[in-house]
Chain A
Amino acid sequence: MAAHTSQSVAKAAGDDVENDVAARGRSRRTDSDSGNRGENRGGKGASGLRRAVGTHWYAWAMVAPVVLVLGVIIGWPLVRGVYLSLTDATERNVSRTIGARHIEATYQFVGLDNYVDVLSDPVFLQRLVWTVVWTVACVSITFTLGLILANMLNREFRGRAAYRMALILPWAVPGFVSVFAWRFLFNRDNGILNKLLDGGGIAAIPWLDDPTWAKFSVVAVNVWLGVPFMMVALLGGLQSIPGELYEAAEMDGATAWQRFRHITLPGLRTVSMTVILLSTIWTFNMFPVIFLLTRGGPGDSTEILVTQAFREAFVSSPRDFAGSATWGVLILALLMIFALVYRRSLRKQGEVW
């Protein structure tokens, strides 16, 4: 599942965000509770800080390990990444140790030059457009298929459990394994897909060797990987919609489509919002599918922003660390803008998230 590094995280996080949404009301209660406790203990005249420490030291002590770890292994590299993006660091001028000899770093601060270079290069726009197309295509198709399958599985019929098991199978296999499986199926000369087409008298399709087909293929594989999670999450959402609503609607003579439109969709709102946000972020950053299936190729036609950043530092020669950091910072900036816009639009619609 990890080929999806991000995907499984996402699954986890999705799970959790839903729990979070669900449990929010409850935790609030404790909050006020601990607040009261604080007031009692603080007493009159104590300084604000001492009172805060007295009230909150338990909580602070509990979160300390994570804060420490985040600061050291995420915060510091993050700051350093931003700094690198303002330098001309490459593999030739960073500090390194060859045998026993240590060579000091000789790269220099160059200000925003890297950003100017990247942003003025048409390659950035190309990558950005394809990344957005890739993300929108993957998320919308995955969501639609997940919704259809969840609705089908949410009925009583024979064999339901078996179908369900079969349909979540792609989720149980580590992502990078699945991607290799697909690479095998897509193989131009020896892949089963082309052999089947051949059997039907259709000329072989260059699945991974032609820019357009390669784009189609990476989207198909990512959808295949993503549908099980989407389906399970939406199935959970569907089962939480009270059956009485459907009965009442049926009494009133609502058609199946009207029931779907006016009961199912609104009932799924919370879950949908969460899974769409998460899967958008994962897909945007989906490294393994592109990297393992096409290596960004043929040429650079399937390269998304994240794989481009990786290519700068670890594939192209000489390795351009500063350039890679610049791409990284730009990706992060784009995602944060997206998250803010998304959150604001939810808020406008009165969602808590």
Chain B
Amino acid sequence: MSTANTARPRGSRSPLASVALHATLVVASVIAVFPVLWIVLTSLKPAKHAVTTDFVKEPTLSNYTYLLEQSHFLSWFANSVLVAGITTVLGVFIAATTGYAVSRFKFPGMKPLMWTLLITQMFPMAILIVPLYNLMGDLGLLNQPLGLIITYLTIAVPFCAWMMKGFFDTIPVEIDESGRVDGLNPFGTFWRLILPLAKPGLAVTGFYAFITAWGEVAYASAFMVGEENLTLAGGLQTFVTQYTSNWGAMSAASVLIAIPAAIFFVFAQRHLVAGMTAGATKG
């Protein structure tokens, strides 16, 4: 997105302006990077130095070995992968045809549906959390990954549908028309022509769904109890409570949680930005 033709030509910038520009950006970058960097450094310090200002003194992996061998970190990680993974797959699967239908057809009930999808995005979890909690209690699904998956679908489905509509909108209608000329019905057009073209869009949607479930805090804190049943969001809280603060373990866990997300992000980033800018450009 940084090609020369998109940036406007600015022939002249005084050296002073140049210095100011770089100075501001350096300060902003430091503020953006430092907290993350500091956590990485802390995770490499032995416990006795965890709260010192030394950058790295006697670097060690002891926080990581503690985390993997003596805490429930691996179960939390597995729980999170399970919950977020299944939520993503189900969310994308359930929502795909809806995204297509609202992108291509005008049908009675479409407007209310669009509004419902939009409004549910701004739903505070506060309104659903108690009824869902009681419901899961009645069904015996509290403390079960399945309960959390069902709960997360309340978030994932509306926004997957809404987001995929956006991606389908960017695929030229002429393709649908050619499919129809070839005798395909709308399902066939969707399945054979549009879905393959929308793969990057589906991937980005799935990525967002995954990341959302990966980092959800409120439902996870309320629905999952007992050390080994927690997801990462709940588990991380146990290192730093009113009574204990194991900053070393907390920082090591943070690094291990952030790495997969960040790797994903770096790969998807180009698509995220491209999707966004494409939308804005045509708008």
Q: Show the binding face of A for B, using Cβ within 8 Å.
A: 1-5, 8-24, 26-27, 29-35, 52, 55-56, 58-63, 65-67, 69-70, 73-74, 76-78, 80-81, 84, 94-97, 148-149, 152-157, 159-161, 163-164, 166-178, 180-185, 187, 189-192, 195-196, 199, 224, 227-228, 232-233, 235-237, 239-241, 243, 246-247, 270-271, 281, 284-285, 287-288, 291-292, 305-306, 309-310, 313-314, 321, 324-325, 327-329, 331-332, 335-336, 339
Asked if B280 contacts A78 (CB within 8 A), the reply is no
Chain A to chain B: the 6 pairs with minimum beta-carbon distance, closest first: A2-B215, A23-B169, A19-B166, A236-B277, A190-B51, A18-B279
Q: Mark B11-53, 1 if CB is under 8 A from A, else 0.
A: 0010000100110110011011101101100100000001101
> B120: which A residues are within 8 A, CB to CB?
70, 74
Chain A residues, Cβ within 8 Å of B116 = 70
With A5-B212, A19-B169, A313-B133 known to touch, is A332 a contact of B124 (CB < 8 Å)? yes
* Known contacts A16-B165, A324-B126: A180-B254 contact under CB 8 Å: yes
- Name B281's closest neighbour in chain A (CB-CB): A240
Q: A12-B163, A22-B280, A332-B127 are in contact. List 20 more A-B contacts (CB 8 A).
A: A1-B211, A11-B208, A15-B275, A17-B162, A18-B276, A19-B279, A20-B279, A21-B279, A56-B108, A58-B186, A60-B107, A63-B102, A97-B137, A152-B25, A172-B262, A174-B258, A181-B35, A235-B1, A239-B7, A325-B127
What chain B residues lie within 8 Å of A167 (beta carbons)? 25, 28-29, 32
Does B134 lie at the interface of the complex (its beta carbon under 8 Å from any beta carbon of A)? yes
The residue in chain A whose Cβ has the minimal distance to the Cβ of B190 is A62
Q: Counting CB contacts under 8 A, is B183 at the interface?
A: no
User: Which of the four size classes fits the interface of chain B?
Assistant: 35 or more
Listed A/B pairs (5) with beta-carbon separation below 8 Å? A17-B166, A60-B107, A156-B9, A185-B38, A195-B53
Task: Report the minimum CB–CB distance from B258 to chain A (whole Å).
Answer: 5
Nearest chain B CB to A71's CB is how many angstroms away?
10
Q: Which of these binds chain A: B56-64, B70-78, B93-101?
A: B93-101
- Is A27 a contact of B104 with CB atoms below 8 Å? yes
A-side interface mostly: helix
B132 located at the interface, meaning its Cβ lies under 8 Å from any Cβ of chain A in the complex:
yes
B281 touches A236 (CB 8 A): yes
Contact between A174 and B214 (Cβ–Cβ < 8 Å)?
Answer: yes
Is B173 an interface residue, CB under 8 A from the partner? yes
Q: Which A residues touch B155, using CB under 8 A? A: 5, 9
**Which residues does chain A contribute within 8 Å of B279, judged by CB atoms?**
15-16, 18-23, 236
List of A residues within 8 angstroms of B137 by Cβ: 96-97
Judge whether B32 and A157 touch: CB under 8 Å: no
CA distance A313 to B128 in the complex (A): 12
> Hey, what's the 0/1 contact readout for B160-185 against A, CB within 8 Å counting as 1?
01110111011011001100000001
Of B33, B247, B280, which contacts A166 at CB under 8 A?
Answer: B33
